[in-house]
Structure 1
């Protein structure tokens, strides 16, 4: 083929499909036309097309990871009112969202606070920020994941099910306290915690402090071992604030025109 030979556009598109280069397939015609008009060298044209493919590939990857993460909608850091939660440092949260050091080390994140206090919002918002920075995250109610792992155990596939979760750099277990206190549930939960220890990260939201986790793990030795594995390398965030939902109910009873007695979150958490 010489420089003057016509381009077989249909064949080129097939080749780009085969190479899985959808951005270049979409852009090559416009870019080559511009390159011809402006006299670009071939290397500049190739570089421009490659840069767009990489950029769009990254965006497609983020969109896939967002879809698989199952994050609750609307829970963003921009929508979280840090002024209403003075125990939480915004700078510290932003450092967590950067993610590189603690996720690479398989460290954990634990968020304590009352029901409606913003734990789920903050955990989900951190998860969203991590996905935008290239990490893979799974958000799930603890009871939902435990039930799936129980099914896997009955099918003699628990180890494989836990191994499949390794693709997620972070699993967010929401509402730990609602796990039923029985041996099968606590057993699979403990196995998940143990399997990810110092390898992959877990984030947990919980209403109860560690001293009350014997209500979750009926075996004291299991409770101690679970807490030890979670806390060994962890960041603990305490949201010691009044429930937003309770505050909202009181404000509605008070009626319009009467200011709230304290700051509340701008968007309803949890």
Structure 2
């Protein structure tokens, strides 16, 4: 069984602690998914720039890109975050997509996404999660029961700018949904059903739906047992299927909203003793948003 966690900060004074808090939440869930882990952090964006989070193989000189594209590069192990002026983004994407030794993990103005094989603590340490800051973050630790243990198959999945999703459960109609989305121009990198859910929501958002509206539509279009935690540039959403057999608990205070596959993921958060604790109801969309 996979473990998922999410933290949405209402109090900007906590933003420098976001990564450390998320690391603690994710590390607690180690037993739920020891094969691989990943997380997405919504930090500060640079006006007029696009961030590419990429995974690079030995031989690709990511540090050569700044001189060619007026970019900045921050290395995180075998991942790197490349910030490039928006006017050069398509040009950079074309170069990266031609390279067999580079994988584009995510794009966006604020989101950075990292994932890899290993325990949550090891993956978080590898990428420096505890030092990251921002407004919200989601994370996942994976038990690969139906597929190979690979970095590509690890969560979160991102199929749109500043959009990502983690998932505990399984979809029964993901192949039909995938085929329909491919006809609509949605591209997939893996056979993972979670990527289909991410692609579905991204497609709805591109059509003009808000996150809460897209999640409501998912109740009709996605079959299976699932709990979704979703991030966008300004929003954070949670949805359980109508049966809601997968465990979930949430906490809300004046400072934050937090989600965990079990309470112990929340137990170390500041002020948790005074938080409103609740189990999200089946088939109900929970959604929070704030200005970018």
TM bucket (normalised to shorter chain) is under 0.3
Query: Larger helix proportion, structure 1 or 2?
Result: 1
Normalising by structure 1, we get a TM-score of: 0.24
TM-score (norm 2): 0.23
Structure with more of its chain in strand, by fraction: 2
